[in-house]
Structure formats: structure tokens, C-alpha cells
A = this chain, B = another copy of it.
């Protein structure tokens, strides 16, 4: 890939982004689209267009995103989303704000860098007027929360330094948070390394940075330094700097997230899951006792005062089936009635009664009146459901239960304590939120879970290993030269200049992106198959698997892959060569990843912001499918942020940027834009679009933390390899770095991790606003298919009154 195709790629990406952003500004103003662009607000019953959001200004959303505080995010979207933003910012509050944008400007950067760095300040200049205008409107400030102070400070600045300074400050005071690690790294690396590299004047025998003639990038990379040159010390310092910046910011972030979690857990709101624990692996119940009695006796003996009640998990398959069928008919009835009502209005005054066939997919079978048919079916199913509910509750009790306590402290302590002598019986853990319990996984036994886990690990391992092969093919296949050879009929098309450039720029990346879209569902399925009891945990597990997949296959696969196959024999002889191989194959792919990152942020975030796809789907559904209010609501239901795929993708970018940060520092601004833009766009989406589907109180973070550290260690090992390749005599000076990283990881997990596994008692003992309504808490855990509409769940009452407190167990 040469320089022009690189610029083309960058340019088209940016053009697409600008178009998408304008599209967003235009589309989001239309009231008909509000359910697509403001579903979260509508969900919460707010006016979508408060805060003057219905402006023509294309940058209004930026201002809103920038001025929202962490408390806003927690209030709207929960702790998990806030933690995700902590990840994006990897907090670095301080007075560095202005430095960050200003310092990189005077540095002697390559020809194209300023374009990108200045792109954002340029936007900001446009929005400056807009900010001043909005300063007259009071409601805009009501959402500012703790930043209100700084805002008033800003206002004081307005008359003196003018609007440019104000916006600058607003942007940067946010930006410096957004970009912690990368900004701090760039701050030192760009001014330090680029001049050192540019004046290196070493032309390697083979073009190491790219396979084309892209010498401009070459000059700014570490490849431009002579082997074993004293200049390499600058790169050693840079390697250390990046590592220490990462340690420092990760440490601060962990602390911050820990306090976010504590604040959420000690909240005076009553939250059902804080009063209950999940019990699994209940041993076979003794003769003449039901499970329910067994569980009640056991916990009542241990907690005579604070035990409230227990709910034994039942085998719900049958009852769920009936319930789903019933709900289906209810929907169908509502739809038929809506159609009937509509036909009265539009057609004949007596209307057309909707008809359908009873057979397969409504295509075959007897034709019946839908409304009558559904009513019949519903009347038939309701008693069936009730009978099945009773049978399920009485006879299908499983070896798992939820136990409810009247105090948060007891529940928190119970979830952490060993109850039975054998660890494989009466296993306890924090109860997940009712909405995220995976009921079918609860009764799985201890050993079944262990075995499932290892089986899944093996499957994932195989998947990772064997996915490498197709990816290797793709990266070999999608170079244009190969394409021409393999598919000669494409030759006339490819030979056209424009098409060729575009193809060269995008083909490999698009292939990769499409390819990767197939996997996450599979990994989530595997994670659930492990026997994990909660949705959020399963998503974290899937995200972890996806991370290893993506780093190993995409990053290492693309970089090392090609070289690996050709040198497989060398490696067999000298396994320690793999480190230097890593070092040698990285620079060759620098441009590939530069365009990959650029594509991700411009097109990816452009699509994210404009929500073109959901918009089209919604409008299609609204016009042709949806008849009732409920159906319409379902059509625009926004879903959540989707951490399972989002985080691994971000992690891939972090891995790429970290690994190249010293070798080719020009990648840093790309990373900065990726996360900066991501922060802006997702802040907007979190506040207005997505509705969180669960709350795990920041359990996300240790997962993210570990993976950033894994990326850092990969970076450090790569650097050792690259320095060896540069015949740098003092390479061992880098050896302490990976060791340090492991120590850092160990210390962090020692200090912080346990609080993310379980609730600290000092947090749980905070007073509640009101005495918790235990009945309500208990009911919130009853799955919908079991909650009788008449509240006569006599079974639970029966079982409770049976309990004798005299029971004892060995």
C-alpha cells in the first residue's frame, strides 16, 4: 500500500464520517425518529427534546456529551456504563488539559499528522458560538452536576478570553480524561521519538515498515534508526514511559471504579439482589423432606434471626412452553383486534374480521376467525398453565435455591462464607439481579460446572487455533496482486485507478470485519454452556474469550502469521526465536493497522452515531409489520451497549496502539481519536439511546483491567523482540518491564479484586431509606411464567409454615 492509497483510505473514511454525522443531525431532529435517537429518554418517560436537543447545530450532541457528568451516566445507564467510560478515560484528572492539545501542535510531525490532530479543534471552533448561545438557556445547566463549578469558572472566562478559549477548555477538560494512557504517552513519545527517528537516516536493506514505497511513514518509525545506535536509548525510555503511565492510570482507575461500586452498593435504595444469596449444589434431601423444607431448615438453623424465606429453583421447561404459547396468542389477539379496529375506520364501518389458517406458519389448515380463535386458545391455556405451575412448584424442585435474608449484611456475609464442610455442597454466592438470572444453569452441579468449563475452554482453544488458518488465507488472498492472479476476470475492474485505490485501502479490513462478526454469538453460547448463573457474568466470560481470539488471531495472526508459516522450521529448532519474530513482523503491518484503526473510528462510530441500520429497520417495521403499541415499542427497543463485543474490539485497538506506540509513534494520535471519538459518541448513545439490560455494579472492571495489562505485557515482549532485532546490546534493560507488569497485576488483584467478587460488609451495613418490603423482594425473583396473576402462590406459604426449627445436620 502506498502513501496515496493510505491517504485515500483516511480521506474516504473521514468523508463517510462527516456525511454520517450530518445525516444524524438532520435525522435526529425529526420527531418521527425520536424513538430511534432518544429511546432511553422515552423509556424513562422524559421529553426527548429537552435541553434544546432539537437544534440544527451538528455539534450540539458533542456539547451535551461533554457536559454530562459521571453521576448523570450512573443515573441514566447504571454503574456498568460508568465503568465503561472509566475504561475509555482511564481517569487522569488534573491540570494537564491545555497541554494535551497544545503541546503536540508545535512538534515537528509528519505531513499528515496535523490534519488529524487539528480536526477536532476545528470542529470545536465551529461549535464555540453554539456553546455561547446555549449559555443563555437555563435548563442546559441543570444536568451539569459536579461540573457546574468548573462551568461557572468557564463562564467567568468568557468575557475575557472569548468563546474559543471556553470551548477549548470544555473539550480538553473532557478529552484529557478520555485518553489517559495514550495522551500521556503521546505527550512524551511524539516530541521525543519523531525527531530522533526522522534524523536517523538509516535505510534498511528491506523496506521494513511497509511493502510498498511509503517512505514518509518509514522515516518516523524506529526502523529508521541504525542498529545498535545510541539513539535507541530514547526508545528504551519511551518504552518505560508508556509502561509507567499505564500502571499509574490503571491504579487510579481501579481505585475510582472501586469507589463507584461501593457507592452503588451502599445506596439507601432497596435492591432485591442485595437481600438474597444463590445456593447451589444442595445435597439430596433426606427421606420425607421436600427440598424446600430441607433448605429452610438448613438456613434457619444457621441464621435463626435474619433468615426470611427461600425459593427453590424449579424445572420450568414445560411451564415456560405453555406460557410462551399463551403470550403468543395474547399478542396475536391484540394484533387482530387492532387490525379489526383499523379496518372499521378505513374500510366498511362494520369492519373486516381478520382470518388466519391454523396450520404451519398460517399457510395451510382450516381458516378461522383470528379473534375468536385466539380467545378460545387463551381460555384453554390459562387453566393448563395454572395446573402446570402447581405441578412445577410441588414436584420439580431442583438442587438450587435462592435464600432471602432480612438484612443486607447477613446476605453479604452469607454469600462469602463456607456453609458446608465439603466445598461441593451448599455452594453459596451473591444472587444476581432477577432479570439476569440464567435459570437453566442454576441446578447444574459443582462437578458438571467444572467439567463443562474445561470442555468449553478446550473448544475455545481449538476455535482460536483453527480460525487462524482462514484468517491467514484472507490476509494472503486480499492483497490486490494475488487477487489479480487468482481471479483474472477482475483484472479490467481492478486496473481502473480509483477502484484499485479504494480496493487496496479497504478490502483486507472489510474482509476482516465481516469475518469477525460471525463469532461473538458462538462465544456467548459457549459461555452460557459453562453453567454461569448470570447474564452479566456470561457476557464477561464471552468477552474474555473474544479478547483472546481477537488478539491472537487478528493481531498476532496478521502480523506474525505470514512470517510464521515460512519460518516454521526455524522456530522448531530455536523456540526463543518467537520473540524476535514478533519484533520483526510488526513494522511490516503498521499501515494495515493504521487504516484499520481509522476505519474503525470513522466508519464504525459514524454508523454508531447515525444509527442508520436501526432507523431503517424501525421504519420498515413500523410501516409494514407493527399494528399495536406493544409491537411498535418492541421495534424501537434499543438494547444495551453490548459489552461482549464492544470491549474486545476496544481491547484490540489498545493492543495495536500499545504495541506500535514506540515502534511507529504516529499511531498514537489514531488511538487518541479512536477513544476520544468513542467517548463522545458513546456518551451520547448511553445518555439517549441504549437501555442497560442488567447491572453488575462494575464487575466489568477487573476483567478490563487484566486485559489492558495483558496487552501491555504483549507490548513489552514485542519491544524486547524488536530491540533484539535492532541488535541493541543493552536490550536486557527491558527485561524488568514484563516482571514489573506481573507484579503490578498481582498487587492490584490482591488489593482490589476481592471487593469485586463479593460485597464488603462495611458497604452493606449502610442504612436503608426504608424498611425493605421482603414480600416484594421475594416476588421480584419469581420468573414470569410462574407468577400467578391471582396472588395465591399457596405453595410457598405452605412450605414456609412447615419449617421446624429443631432440625440438625451432620
A interface list, Cβ under 8 A from B: 258-259, 262, 298, 301-303, 305, 409, 412-414, 416-424, 426, 450, 750-755, 758-763, 765-766, 808-810
Contacts and interface: CB of A to CB of B under 8 A. Distances in A.
B421 A413 contact: no
B760 A418 contact: yes
A421 B762 contact: yes
A302 B762 contact: yes
A301 B423 CA distance: 30
A427 to B, nearest CB: 10
A781 to B, nearest CB: 23
Given A305-B305, A416-B416, A416-B417, A258 B422 contact: yes
Contacts of A262: 421, 810
8 closest pairs, A vs B, by CB?
A413-B417, A413-B413, A302-B765, A416-B417, A418-B760, A419-B761, A421-B755, A423-B754
Contacts of A450: 750
Contacts of A751: 422-424
Contacts of A419: 760-762
Contacts of A412: 417
28 contacts: A258-B421, A259-B421, A262-B810, A301-B765, A302-B761, A305-B305, A413-B414, A416-B416, A416-B417, A416-B418, A417-B417, A417-B758, A418-B755, A418-B758, A418-B759, A418-B760, A419-B761, A421-B760, A421-B762, A421-B763, A422-B751, A422-B752, A422-B755, A423-B750, A423-B751, A423-B754, A426-B762, A450-B750
Contacts of A298: 762
Number of copies of chain A assembled together: 2
A422 B753 CA distance: 9
Nearest to A303: B409
Contacts of A302: 409, 761-762, 765
Contacts of A808: 766
B809 A420 contact: no
A616 to B, nearest CB: 46
A752 B424 CA distance: 9
A65 B765 CA distance: 54
Contacts of A259: 421
Given A414-B413, A766-B808, A760 B420 contact: yes
Nearest to A810: B262
Nearest to A266: B810
Given A302-B765, A758-B418, A760-B418, A423 B809 contact: no
Given A413-B414, A414-B413, A762 B422 contact: no
B413 A762 contact: no
A754 B428 CA distance: 13
Nearest to A808: B766
Most B C-beta atoms less than 10 A away, residue of A301, A305, A418, A758: A418
Contacts of A766: 808
Contacts of A423: 750-755
Nearest to A263: B810
Given A305-B305, A423-B750, A450-B750, 9 more contacts: A412-B417, A417-B417, A418-B754, A418-B760, A419-B760, A420-B762, A422-B751, A424-B751, A426-B762
Contacts of A422: 258, 751-752, 755
Nearest to A757: B418
A810 B259 CA distance: 9
A450 B423 CA distance: 27
A528 B338 CA distance: 80
Contacts of A258: 421-422
A258 B416 CA distance: 20
A763 to B, nearest CB: 6
Contacts of A763: 421
A262 B752 CA distance: 32
Nearest to A259: B421
A104 B752 CA distance: 59
Contacts of A424: 750-751
A632 to B, nearest CB: 45
A262 B421 CA distance: 7
A262 B425 CA distance: 15
A413 B764 CA distance: 15
A258 to B, nearest CB: 6
A418 B761 contact: yes
Nearest to A758: B418
A754 to B, nearest CB: 5
